[in-house]
Amino acid sequence: MSKKNVRRIMALLLSAVSLSGLAACTGDKKPENPVSSDVSSAPGETTDGGYVLPPRTGDPEFNGICFPMTGAESRGLNMDSLIDLMSIMNVHSMRNWMHATNLLTKDLKPREKKVNQQKEWISKLTAKGITKIVGMSHYWFWPEKYGVTDRSAAPYRDRTEGSEYCEWIALYEETWYALASTFPEIKYWEVGNEFNSDAFLHPKNFYADGKKFTLDEKAAIVTEMCFAASAGIHRANPDAVVIFPGLAPEGGFTIMRKFLRRVYQNITSGEFGNGSTEPDDYFGAVAWHCYMLNEKFDIDNWVSYNDSVYEIMKIYGDADKKVYLTEYGFSDGGSEETDAAQAEYLRQIYDAVYNRMLYVDSLYPFRLEEDNTKLGINDIEVFYGIFRVFDRESFGAKEKAKAICGTYGGDLSALDKYKGSNSVYPTNISNK
């Protein structure tokens, strides 16, 4: 029996399914406060059916990196040199920040200059062998009549026909259709970033009154967002892979498990999207950000934590879906000693994922270069970078870069190609 048929049978057995919930925003008022997200309760759970993960085949696209190109370009950094450094490291996949609000006008027309710039970069990346480009956008538009300018704000879920929410989610689908139509060369779309975090998904008055969505409210909205994004993208490109927005480990991996399980529960309820209980209609792969934020790194614990999130996918019959680790890494604080220790952690991660976590499609360490404009503002994020930025033309490989290059089978001897006469340590960086 196929996976889809198993899911359909399980969905029919759910007493929670309501026939009135088979279409979003069709005039029926839907619950705004979904059932509890207690992870010990899992209505509609299926099993992985004994699925066996296939062995690795040496796919070079396993080797990825996070590189926010628009940010680097805005600081005047030499993009050709940075792209060349990725090639030197034998990178073949890249997570690319491609915000809809930057690339499209509010009426969803391409911003010609910005679109052409992205297409030029994509062409250069492809020419260097960086062929799996994961486009990611986590900002969106609101219908203009509501006057909302916060690109991370969402309305409360209200499926009443003509509601603010229904108008917003309809525009969200059209935005993804426009973005995917503008970039047919992008075959992988991560439809958001850390939406379980308040910073990336909140009510429209969040910065005025501090009111937040609950976990259940966020999960309900994200479930609908995934369906809308997937529908829009697949109208433009039926073969595109839609990747669930990377989860943040705020509160630890347990929170990521809880959030992902809640999304699956929403799907199996038949109360979301157009009533589909098929996860494939919402996403074709899953992403999360596997930072260990509040404890000393231990590779066995790290693997176990990731396995526990993947276990949720298995429970709901998605064992065959691939996982994209679209962010992970370590902030060294500018310390040579810390950088060296973290380089060893990265070597351990590569080995563990390649040999023990066969469900992972590709790795995306955060991030290629230090963003020195954030010095004194967000130093932690600055020092995730694996290349030190001395000036707009000069970049020095930290120990973390050497570790990634070595595990990826890159050319270690060429990593200092753009270092000039600078020393990576002691810290010698400009505010660029």
Cα gap 344→430, rounded to integer Å: 27
Other C-beta atoms closer than 10 Å to the C-beta of 208 total 9
Q: 72 vs 21, 214, 410, CA distance in Å?
A: 45, 35, 23
Helices assigned H by DSSP within 128-214: 164-182, 206-209
Q: What is the mean pLDDT of residues 188-217?
A: 98
Q: How many helices (H) and strands (E) does the chain have?
A: 13, 10
Return the pLDDT at 376: 86
Residue 200: which of 177, 179, 175, 221 has the closest Cα? 221
Close Cβ partners of 276 (under 8 Å, ≥ 6 residues apart): 227, 267, 270, 282
Set out the domains of the chain in order of their start, with CATH numbers. Answer: 58-414 (3.20.20.80)
Task: Provide the Cα torsion 196, 201, 205, 207; round to 10°.
Answer: 80
Give helix 79-88 / helix 112-127 axis angle, nearest 10°.
30
Using the 8-state DSSP alphabet, how is residue 369 labeled? B
pLDDT of residue 50: 80
- Of 271, 277, 309, whose CA–CA distance to 291 is shortest? 309
SS3 60: helix
Cα of 324 vs its chain's centroid, Å: 8
Q: What are phi and psi of 271, to 5 degrees?
A: -100, 10
8-17, 69-78, 222-231: the lowest-pLDDT one: 8-17
- Give whole-number Cα distances, 201 to 138, 176, 222, 248, 288, in Å: 9, 17, 9, 12, 16
Convert 322-338 to b/e letters by CB count within 10 Å (16 or more is b): bbbbbbbbbbbebeeeb
Indicate whether 398 pLDDT > 80: yes
Question: In this structure, are strands 395-397 and 132-136 parallel, antiparallel, or unpaired?
Answer: unpaired
> Residue 39 has what pLDDT?
42
Q: Give the span between the Cα atoms of 390 and 6, in whole angstroms.
A: 56
Q: Determine how β-strand 395-397 pairs with β-strand 387-389.
A: antiparallel
What is residue 375's predicted lDDT score, i.e. its pLDDT?
A: 87
Tell me the average pLDDT across 368-382: 91
Task: Tell me how far apart the alpha carbons of residues 132 and 186 are, in angstroms, rounded to a whole number.
Answer: 8
Which 3 state secondary structure label does DSSP give 334? coil
User: Is the confidence at residue 122, as pLDDT, over 50?
Assistant: yes
pLDDT score recorded for residue 22 = 35
- Say which DSSP state 24 is in: T
- Residue 403 reports pLDDT greater than 80: yes
CA atoms of 217 and 31, how far apart (whole Å): 10
Report which of residues 29 and 137 the model is more confident about: 137
Residue 201 structure tokens: 């998904």
Residue 45 has a pLDDT of 60
Q: What's the mean pLDDT in 336-365?
A: 99
pLDDT tens-digit series, residues 289-337: 999 998 999 999 999 999 999 999 999 999 999 999 999 999 999 999 9
pLDDT at 73: 97
Window from 43-47, 129-133, 151-155, 371-375 with minimum mean pLDDT: 43-47
Q: How confident is the model at residue 416 (pLDDT cuts 50, 70, 90)?
A: very high
SS3 310: helix
Whether residue 17 is predicted with pLDDT greater than 80 in this model: the reply is: no
Give yes or no for a contact between 170 and 25, defined as CB atoms under 8 angstroms apart. yes
Query: Does the structure show a pLDDT above 50 at 13?
Result: no
Asked if residue 343 has pLDDT above 50, the reply is: yes
Confidence of residue 377 (pLDDT cuts 50, 70, 90): confident
**Tokens matching residue 314:** 């298995």
- H helices of 75-205, in order, are 79-88, 100-103, 112-127, 164-182
CB atoms within 10 A of CB 120: 11
Structure token digits, residue 338: 């810390």
Q: What pairing do the DSSP bridges indicate for beta strands 387-389 and 360-363?
A: unpaired
20-24, 119-123, 252-256, 326-330: lowest mean pLDDT where?
20-24
Q: Do residues 368 and 396 lie in contact, with contact meaning Cβ atoms separated by under 8 Å?
A: no
CA distances from 127 to 63, 65, 78, 120 (A): 16, 17, 17, 11
Average pLDDT over residues 278-286: 99
Report the alpha-carbon distance of residue 138 to residue 135 in Å, rounded: 10
Contact by Cβ (8 Å): 400, 332: yes
pLDDT for position 7? 54
* pLDDT at residue 14 in the model: 38
Res 140: pLDDT: 99
List pLDDT tens digits, range 20-57. Answer: 333 458 544 333 333 333 444 344 565 666 899 999 99
Quote the radius of gyration of the chain (alpha carbons, Å): 22
